[in-house]
């Protein structure tokens, strides 16, 4: 309309909405991006699609006793009907940290559990906290067997960044010197109980290729950086009022905020990265306010995408421009492809009849770990599958919940038997690598919209023969290890777990050496828009079998450092 005052207002709007950096998503990697960029002096806008969750204050169930929950932490019929996916991950104490399936629908071309937590802190509030480094066995895997494309980095590139993030996070564990599961910077480990120690000694005696180590976990065995120590309540997924484990809320966001450089904007659903045809880069992002549905543009010199694997890929696919008609940074056509999870739920259980006079006190929030022992070298090479799996395991005594239906007794003798401590048992389950496969992918359903008018995500995902063969081996190997250690009633199991249940979604915007076959370069920059960095799980060219969050954190810190160097050189 040519009204000069309106132009003025617009200009002011742009200025007010302009930052040095924008971080999309406040989960485990986004929290790190915010911390690093703020500490390096960048005015940083942290966008989160859900509500704010303040450390301690908003952990509303953290101090509740079991009897204070109406349903005693059980999942209700209503949960199963209304939140059929999320209720597989939550209980009555953590439900408020998971989305509503009804409010946040998606399409499952094949069954896939897309577990989400839309709030400040994201799923860092409820994660499993197991932390293991990748090694060159993982970084070289694609190049060696030809599945997926080669990682553009090797262990030496990320090793100092593992050191760097671990020094801040605080990881309990023990150095073992295992080449393919490199040691972290450790706090003291959380001890093994007597049956686990026995198991470790037995495995050492009977197997030359296997070892049992302490679970490596981002729970603090001693006070660290003003947080913790862990109080051994094992109620982590309610949020920890003691800051006993690492989350964005407890650790990275407070540090970012203390710099004075952080602006946190909850309720901001990013739906598009804005492409500027004059610079050839991204100028900012568009958001819809979750509550008012009002749209706003925010601008910055660099953008970090940390919305989580599936969400980041869907934002890229939604960001259609003249330059990127198939989605932002998607010249390769690879955005959305190669979705991976870890397959889990295959292993064995057994009972141990010794140590009847031994027990434990406190509730340790981790267990033991058996690092991968398949396809490490020529001696351990398998003919039936490539790559491998590690076991998480746990020795414990049977208690009332495990024994209540063991017999048909009732009355006073039954009541006494509940208080009696049952036999020791061990549970061991494999977390296994899933091969990158372009058929496992997400796409957008343009005809089907959510309540904000955004297209629904469709997930296409199936495990293949390699994963099936690995699961078979994981059951047999677990059973033979338990038997060798003198366990009885050894029962292999396969839960036939729905894909996605490990909540380790990876891939969909992979790093690579060649822009024709990958989305990101070795510094997590979008090949064709270098001021956009993607450092959540979507960047992973392969998944290893290790719990992946630690790697996202290290890649994020590394990319932030690179981004700021590039800004200083005026390369961005």
Partner 1 sequence: MNRRKAILSFFLVGGGATAGFSGYKWYNIHKTPDILYLENSKELVAGLAETILPASVTAGAKAAMAHITVITLIKDVADRKTKNIFIDGLKDVEAYTDAHYNKSFVTLQPAQQKAVVTHFRDQGKNYSGILGKIKNKFIGKSFFHVLKEYTTIAFCTSKPGATQALAYDYIPGKYVACTPMVPGQKSWATK
Q: What are phi and psi of 229, to 5 degrees?
A: -75, 170
338, 431 in Cβ contact below 8 A? no
Residue closer to partner 1 (CB basis): 329 or 429: 429
Q: Which is nearer to partner 1, 359 or 452 (CB)?
A: 359
Could you say whether residue 345 binds partner 1 (CB under 8 A)? yes
Q: Is 70 in the site for partner 1 (CB under 8 A)?
A: yes
Please give the size of the binding site for partner 1, defined by CB under 8 A.
Answer: 75
Among 150, 237, 467, 528, binds partner 1 (CB under 8 A): 237
How many CA within 13 A on the CB side of residue 558?
Answer: 25
Q: Is 369 helix (H, G, I), strand (E, B) or coil?
A: strand
Residue 126 beta carbon to partner 1: minimum distance, rounded to whole angstroms: 7
Q: Would you say 387 and 342 are in contact if contact means Cβ atoms under 8 Å apart?
A: no
Structure tokens at 469: 């063969």
485 binds partner 1 (CB under 8 A): no
243 vs 120, 256, 322, 557, CA distance in Å? 16, 16, 47, 22
Pick 209 or 402: Cβ nearer partner 1: 402
Q: How far apart are CA 199 and CA 195, in angstroms?
A: 6
Cα 93 from Cα 81, distance rounded (Å): 18
Distance (Å, whole) CA 90 – CA 83? 10
CB of 265 vs partner 1, minimal distance in Å: 29
Preceding amide of 229 cis, omega within 30: yes
Site residues for partner 1, 489-518, by CB under 8 A, read 493, 495, 501-503
* Residue 193 CB, nearest approach to partner 1 (Å): 5
**Minimum CB distance to partner 1 smaller for 316 or for 346:** 346
User: Which of these ranges, 40-48, 85-93, 162-170, 509-517, lies near partner 1 under the rule CB under 8 A?
Assistant: 85-93
Q: Is 277 exposed, middle or buried (0-12, 13-18, 19+ CB in 10 A)?
A: exposed
Which one of 294, 410, 447, 570 is in contact with partner 1 (CB under 8 A)? 410
Q: How far is the CB of 400 from partner 1 (least distance, A)?
A: 5
Backbone torsions φ then ψ of 369, nearest 5 degrees: -140, 140
Nearer to partner 1, 270 or 348 (CB): 348
Site for partner 1 in 315-344 (CB under 8 A): 344
Q: How far is the CB of 478 from partner 1 (least distance, A)?
A: 13
CB 441 within 8 A of CB 339: yes
Cα four-point dihedral sign 211, 217, 219, 221: positive
Q: Which of 115, 287, 310, 457 binds partner 1 (CB under 8 A)?
A: 115
Closest residue by Cα to residue 306 from 560, 125, 542, 517: 560
- Please give the Cα distance from 419 to 452 (Å, whole number): 52
Handedness of CA 515, 531, 286, 262 (dihedral sign): positive
Of the pair 194, 376, the CB lying nearest partner 1 is at: 194
76 touches partner 1 (CB under 8 A) = yes
Smallest distance, partner 1 to C-beta of residue 242, A: 9
Closest distance of CB 145 from partner 1, Å: 27
Which residues from 511-570 bind partner 1, rule CB under 8 A?
none
Q: Is 75 in the site for partner 1 (CB under 8 A)?
A: yes
Cα 139 to Cα 513: distance, rounded to the nearest angstrom: 13
Residues in 349-368 at the binding interface with partner 1, rule: CB under 8 A:
349, 356-364, 366-367
Task: Compute the distance between CA of residue 31 and CA of residue 121 in angstroms, rounded to an integer.
Answer: 7
Q: Can you tell me which of 44, 108, 193, 247 binds partner 1, judged by CB under 8 A? A: 193
Contact region with partner 1 (CB under 8 A), list: 53-61, 332-340, 393-401, 470-478:
393-401
Q: What is the CA radius of gyration of the chain?
A: 24
Nearer to partner 1, 199 or 328 (CB): 199
Work out whether 186 is an interface residue with partner 1 (CB under 8 A). no
Shortest separation between residue 544's beta carbon and partner 1, angstroms? 17
Among 14, 178, 194, 257, binds partner 1 (CB under 8 A): 194
- One residue of 401, 446, 496, 569 binding partner 1 per CB under 8 A: 401
Of the residues 33, 47, 85, 89, which one makes contact with partner 1 according to CB under 8 A? 89
């Amino acid at each position: 309309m040519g009204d000069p005052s309106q132009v003025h207002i617009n200009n002011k709007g742009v200025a007010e909405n302009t930052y040095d950096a924008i971080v999309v998503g406040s989960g485990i990697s986004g929290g790190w991006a915010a911390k690093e960029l703020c500490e390096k002096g960048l005015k940083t806008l942290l966008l989160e699609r859900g509500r704010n969750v303040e450390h301690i204050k908003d952990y509303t169930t953290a101090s509740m006793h079991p009897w204070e929950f109406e349903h005693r932490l059980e999942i209700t019929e209503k949960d199963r009907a209304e939140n059929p996916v999320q209720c597989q991950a939550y209980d009555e104490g953590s439900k408020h940290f998971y989305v509503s399936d009804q409010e946040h629908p998606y399409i499952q071309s094949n069954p896939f559990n897309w577990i989400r937590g839309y709030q400040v802190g994201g799923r860092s509030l409820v994660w499993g906290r197991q932390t293991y480094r990748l090694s060159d066995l993982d970084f070289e895997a694609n190049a060696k067997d030809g599945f997926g494309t080669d990682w553009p980095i090797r262990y030496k590139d990320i090793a100092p960044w593992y050191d760097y993030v671990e020094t801040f996070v605080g990881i309990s564990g023990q150095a073992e010197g295992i080449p393919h599961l490199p040691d972290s910077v450790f706090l003291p480990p959380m001890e093994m109980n007597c049956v686990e120690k026995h198991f470790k000694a037995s495995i050492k005696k009977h197997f030359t290729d296997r070892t049992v180590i302490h679970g490596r976990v981002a729970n603090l065995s001693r006070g660290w950086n003003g947080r913790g120590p862990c109080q051994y309540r094992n109620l982590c997924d309610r949020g920890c009022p003691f800051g006993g484990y690492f989350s964005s809320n407890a650790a990275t966001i407070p540090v970012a905020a203390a710099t004075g450089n952080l602006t946190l904007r909850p309720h901001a659903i990013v739906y598009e990265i804005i492409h500027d045809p004059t610079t050839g880069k991204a100028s900012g992002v568009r958001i819809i306010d979750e509550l008012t549905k009002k749209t706003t543009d925010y601008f910055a010199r660099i953008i970090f995408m940390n919305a989580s694997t599936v969400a980041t890929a869907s934002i890229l696919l939604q960001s259609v421009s003249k330059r990127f008609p198939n989605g932002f940074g998607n010249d390769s056509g690879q955005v959305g492809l190669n979705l991976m999870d870890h397959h889990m739920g295959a292993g064995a259980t057994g009972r141990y009849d010794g140590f009847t006079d031994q027990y434990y006190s406190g509730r340790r929030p981790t267990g033991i770990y058996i690092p991968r022992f398949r396809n490490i070298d020529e001696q351990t090479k398998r003919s039936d599958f490539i790559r491998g799996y590690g076991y998480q395991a746990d020795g414990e005594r049977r208690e009332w919940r495990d024994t209540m239906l063991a017999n048909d007794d009732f009355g006073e003798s039954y009541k006494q038997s509940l208080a009696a401590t049952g036999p020791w048992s061990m549970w061991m389950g494999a977390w296994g690598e899933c091969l990158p496969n372009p058929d496992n992918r997400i796409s957008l359903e343009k005809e089907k919209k959510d309540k904000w008018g955004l297209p629904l995500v469709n997930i296409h995902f199936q495990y293949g023969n390699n994963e099936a063969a690995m699961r078979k081996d994981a059951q047999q190997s677990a059973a033979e290890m338990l038997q060798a250690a003198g366990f009885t009633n050894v029962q292999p199991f396969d839960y036939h777990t729905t894909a996605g249940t490990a909540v380790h979604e990876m891939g969909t915007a992979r790093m690579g050496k060649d822009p024709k076959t990958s989305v990101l370069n070795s510094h997590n920059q979008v090949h064709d828009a270098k001021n956009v960095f993607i450092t959540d799980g979507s960047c992973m060219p392969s998944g290893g079998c290790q719990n992946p969050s630690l790697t996202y954190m290290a890649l994020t810190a590394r990319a932030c450092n690179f981004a700021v160097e590039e800004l200083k050189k005026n390369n961005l």
